[in-house]
Amino acid sequence: DIVMTQSPDSLAVSLGERATINCKSSQSVLSSSNNKNFLAWYQQKPGQPPKLLIYWASTRESGVPDRFSGSGSGTDFTLTISSLQAEDVAVYYCQHYYSTPVAFGQGTKVAIK
Amino acid sequence: QVQLVQSGAEVKKPGASVKVSCKASGYTFTGYYIHWVRQAPGQGLEWMGWINPNSGDTKYAQKFQGRVTMTRDTSISTVYMELSRLRSDDTAVYYCARVDYDSSGYYMGFGYWGQGTLVTVSS
């Protein structure tokens, strides 16, 4: 089974500053059939279900602000919020969907400094 | 618009079973797999399994094998997740989520989620 590990567990960033979250998979999630990484990022606010932000490691879901970006390939991935806004306070999860069982990282809590 | 509407909160005693429903609307029900994910209080997301609403085929996480059953009723566009022999550590919010695919059939992640169903297990 593929294990997902995020870092850090939490971070505090000033408004307008950059936030960076890392995610590492225990095996590559790069598909040879379509050359895409089967890696997604989700945002979860209190009392709400997760919301898909990024899929295929770097493709923004429709309607997601362009301050959110994803990068990486193989086993190492990054979610970047280029200019943190108050509404971005949330927990962020990476997820692989390369194989069954799918798995999530443990989550990274983003707060305002 | 795509919607997944789940059943209401449940309180169960240890050893009992719970069955949570997830009613889909706004798309072709049989065209998209549904996954179940749970979240214990203050904890992260835990994948439980999936069901293919077209065939009824299922795949469960090893942790839940023998205790979880996912079914569907195509006549009312609803999937169900039943968890038996409940324990206190099964207390969690249970979510159903629909996968998205690109035009070639490759997964794009879980694009739609139900609102969640809180299951509390307490004596």
Which SS3 state, helix, strand or coil, does residue B89 take? helix
pLDDT at B107 > cutoff 90: no
Residue B103 has pLDDT above 90, yes or no: no
Binding-face residues of B in 15-44 toward A, CB within 8 A: 35, 37, 44
Residue B106: its pLDDT value, please?
86
Best of A91, A102, A108, A109 to disrupt the B interface (most B CBs within 10 Å) is A102
Nearest to A107 among B35, B44, B109 (CB): B44
Give me chain A's average pLDDT, please. 97
Quote the CA–CA distance of B90 and B88 in Å, as a whole number. Answer: 5
Is B111's Cβ below 8 Å from some Cβ in A?
yes
Distance of CA A36 to the CA centre of its chain: 16
Structure tokens at B4: 């997944």
Instruction: Report pLDDT for B104.
Output: 83
Q: What percent of chain B is predicted at pLDDT more than 70?
A: 100
Distance from CA of B104 to the nearest CA of A (A): 9
Interface check for B114 against chain A (CB to CB < 8 A): the answer is: yes
* B106-117 mean pLDDT: 94
| B110·A93 Cβ contact <8 A | no
- B102 pLDDT higher than 90: no
Structure confidence by residue, pLDDT tens digits, B61-73: 999 999 999 999 9
Interface test with A, best of B60, B98, B107 (most A CBs within 10 A): B107
Distance separating alpha carbons of residues B100 and B104, to the nearest angstrom: 11
Q: How many residues in chain B?
A: 123
Quote the DSSP letter at residue A61.
Answer: P
Is the CB of B111 less than 8 angstroms away from the CB of A31?
Answer: no
Extract long-range pairs of B55-58: CB within 8 Å, 24+ residues apart: none
Contacts of A94 (CB under 8 A, 6+ apart): A4, A6, A21, A23, A39, A40, A41, A42, A77, A79, A104, A105
